[in-house]
Amino acid sequence: MARWTIDPPKTALIIIDMSNDFLKPGAPMELPGGRAMIPHLNRLAQACRARSIPVIYTTHAHRPDGSDMGRMGDLFRNVREGRMLSAGTEGVEIYPDIQPLPGDHLIEKRRYSAFQNTDLELILRNKGIDTVIIGGVATNICCESTAREAFFKDFKVVFLSDGNATFDLPDRGWGRIPKEEVQRYVLTTLAWGFGRVASISEVLEELEATS
């Protein structure tokens, strides 16, 4: 696993898709694990802001007419029928307990990766960022996709072991996979081939040492 250190002037925190459609109780794709980690992500975000580390939020949203939906509509009926991830609805707003603050960035994306057809890379390059800390939901979908693409673009990736949450994968022919196994597999894969995996407490301790 890479042992990249965090240099605040060259680091950004990216918080992926902590929106109502994933976190609100009763939401179409509710992830209770995402709500559970909010206090810890908020602590990290505050520590980053105190050191002038950019905090960048993303939300996944599609145009109501489906013109930017692509294959998402084929896979997810709720998305196709506009019941989730629909731009302009409450569902794509960031969950109230982890709202961006003034000075933070909010990026609306239409694919799993936060880099795909957004201005995320433009923001990072203009700020001289070479390291990204990634947390949010879901570990194995949007968070992992963003981490992989960050690596492809030569950013140093710090993926939060307890700052990313996911869900059980249903049986699609090879058996159901519980979320704990999904999490373990993704963290192991990313640590092996894509970057550094660290806990929120580890990152906070490292940030404290830079003060």
What's the pLDDT score for residue 28? 86
What's the pLDDT score for residue 2? 82
What's the pLDDT score for residue 154? 98
What's the pLDDT score for residue 211? 75
Report yes or no: 58 and 15 within 8 Å, Cβ to Cβ: yes
Burial 192-207 (b: 16+ CB within 10 A, else e): eebbbbbebebbbebb
Give domain limits for the chain: 8-209
| Helix or strand run (H / E) with residue 145 | helix 144-152
Q: How far apart are CA 59 and CA 179, in angstroms?
A: 22
pLDDT tens digits for range 159-197:
999 999 999 999 999 999 999 999 999 999 999 999 999
Q: How far apart are CA 204 and CA 80, in angstroms?
A: 40
Superfamily of domain 8-209: Isochorismatase-like (3.40.50.850)
What's the pLDDT score for residue 80? 93
DSSP symbol at 135? E
pTM for the structure as a whole: 0.97
CA distances from 201 to 68, 101, 163, 204, 207 (A): 38, 22, 10, 5, 10
| First vs last C-alpha separation in the chain | 26
Run means of pLDDT, 10 residues per run, the chain, 211 residues: 91 98 95 98 98 98 94 92 94 98 98 98 98 98 98 98 97 97 98 98 96 75
